[in-house]
A = this chain, B = another copy of it.
């Protein structure tokens, strides 16, 4: 059951797609606490949700703030990352209540989940105007399923977007892109996409191409497609302030940019230098901005990533000027002291994405002028919505790949998200595992982290271990930052055979992974989820934070510790372990329920088949389009001797005609070759 409670006069977010009547009864479970709410937790209660945040799957033990932030250091002390995902589930045990809460609010929401007091959960919105949905049901999985029902169907990418994507901030020319394609193809490694980071643009201006470095992007795109590779350019939120630039001209003429109090367009510097920010909260601006993508779709581009859309601000001219002036004043003073030094360092380190700058510009919402900070969390997702809605009209009936850095619940209908600017560390591999179910239960199904890590230098073993998990994530991208170690999979000579085998394993798994992805989308179900979603009465399963259920038949348990030659795995029931070195080379062993220490060398992948389940595999190919899905090999675990079956979703992977009944078929083990 879902109850809607309404407080004050909320700014519409369109997060929820249905209109529930407002309940006048008291809010169950929660106790009003000043301007917020309070819940006393039992020691066994788990809190799931909040999407893209640091720390574990169980969010207890920290305080968070929904406040979309360009934050590249995902350490435990961070309270906000890129997305605002104001949905959580309190999961009780042993007769304790379970319930879900969605706070429909466009501004900041503070959560204290056992931070101040270990057993007390409080939350509050920055303003008293919001809707609160309270969901009860048959445990965490049912509650999340019901929630998904009110926020609308998750975004569906083209099927080729579940192939591998190679990216790096630093591909500067057509030659660089061709070299990456060659690196993959010459080394016989599958690849479906190459991302183009900011350097493909002219002066980092959206909807332009640096024609010196990319003289024929359409030709390059066509050549790549011949190799089964799609080019995926970046689009940033800020629009270069340049009177020669068409997007800028149009936006200024039409008055589509966010404005300051004096009515002039708000300006902040990002990659292209000074930039304007489209008011994506207006439908006509979304329509206009979305149509600008045509510049690139006309060149054969069929996928995009939206970035910098929290929005990230490197600095505002006023703030930078005042910093420089303060420095000059101090310089004139001559004898600087320690306090001057700290003050100056603070001024320069707080120039970017300064909270005060978010209070200096305005949106138009249904004819009202609304200061940005009040609707800050809607900005990035609304950019995604601009692209997602309009690309459906630019390319009717056809899917376009789209994913974003910033998001809010609602924008999951228009695009996926990647998990932002992580770094090359074992801690971030573990964060990847924790965040996958957390964002997916909030509706973000097409998602994944930058494998191998974006910032900092990676290592050969980390690349391999992370890949061993990454092959299960729907969005599978290897991305790294300028100045860091080369990270394309073909760069690791000694690990190459293992990498090739594991990438091929991903290709072989795609029919299953895509089918489970589509099931989760079409049936408001789950792709990744914590063990307790399926084994709610198993107290031990509730503890596990480094194993995930994947679709109907699998559990994964990645090695995510440096120098480990294996790991502990908890089985809530008997499962068949597959220790896979490649599609064809693996050990299988039926393990009883309980605790196990399982060796898992570098280059091995542990997959667990649940009883009664069938896993279809195909022969690998260099790209998704070339997979032959007419023949399957099956792996199965029939605990009771009966043949296993698999309810499979299969479509063309390109059109938006998702709902035809013939997309479903039942595979049975009898069909085993």
A interface with B by C-beta (< 8 Å) = 43, 46, 55-56, 58, 60-62, 73, 75-77, 114-115, 117-119, 269-273, 314-315, 317, 320-321, 323-325, 327-328, 330-331, 336-338, 341, 344-345, 348-349, 351, 423-427, 455-457, 459-462, 494-495, 540, 543, 545, 561-566, 568, 570, 595-597, 601-602
With A and B bound together, what is the CA distance between A115 and B455 in angstroms? 16
By a CB distance below 8 angstroms, the chain B residues around A272 are: 338
Q: Number of copies of this chain in the oligomer?
A: 2
- Residues in B neighbouring A75, C-beta threshold 8 A: 73, 75, 423, 425, 427
Docked CA distance A533–B455 (Å): 36
Interfacial chain B residues near A76, Cβ < 8 Å: 425-427, 456
**29 A/B residue pairs, CB under 8 Å, sorted by A:** A46-B563, A56-B561, A56-B562, A60-B563, A61-B461, A61-B563, A73-B75, A75-B425, A115-B457, A117-B494, A118-B495, A269-B338, A273-B338, A315-B341, A320-B336, A324-B328, A324-B330, A324-B331, A327-B327, A327-B331, A328-B328, A328-B331, A341-B351, A345-B348, A349-B349, A427-B427, A540-B597, A545-B561, A568-B597
**Distance in angstroms between the alpha carbons of A330 and B331 in the assembled complex:** 13
Residues of B within 8 A of A73 (CB): 75
A587, chain B: closest CB distance, angstroms: 18
Report chain B residues within 8 Å CB of A269: 337-338, 341
A349 to B460, CA, bound (A): 31
The answer on a CB contact under 8 Å between A117 and B61 is no
Given A77-B423, A494-B118, check contact A273 B324 (CB 8 Å).
no
A480 CB, nearest partner CB in chain B, Å? 13
Identify the closest chain B residue to A428 (Cβ).
Answer: B76
Interface contact A461-B351, CB-CB below 8 Å? no
Residue among B115, B315, B330, B461 making CB contact with A118, cutoff 8 Å:
B461
List 10 extra interface pairs beyond A62-B459, A118-B460, A270-B338, CB under 8 A: A61-B462, A75-B427, A76-B427, A77-B423, A117-B494, A317-B336, A427-B427, A543-B564, A543-B565, A568-B595
- Cβ-closest chain B residue relative to A315: B341
Query: How long is the Cα–Cα vector from A493 to B568 in the complex, in angstroms?
Result: 35
Instruction: State whether A543 touches B562 (Cβ < 8 A).
Output: no
Contact of A344 among B43, B324, B425, B601 (CB under 8 A): B324
List residues of chain B with CB within 8 A of the CB of A596.
595
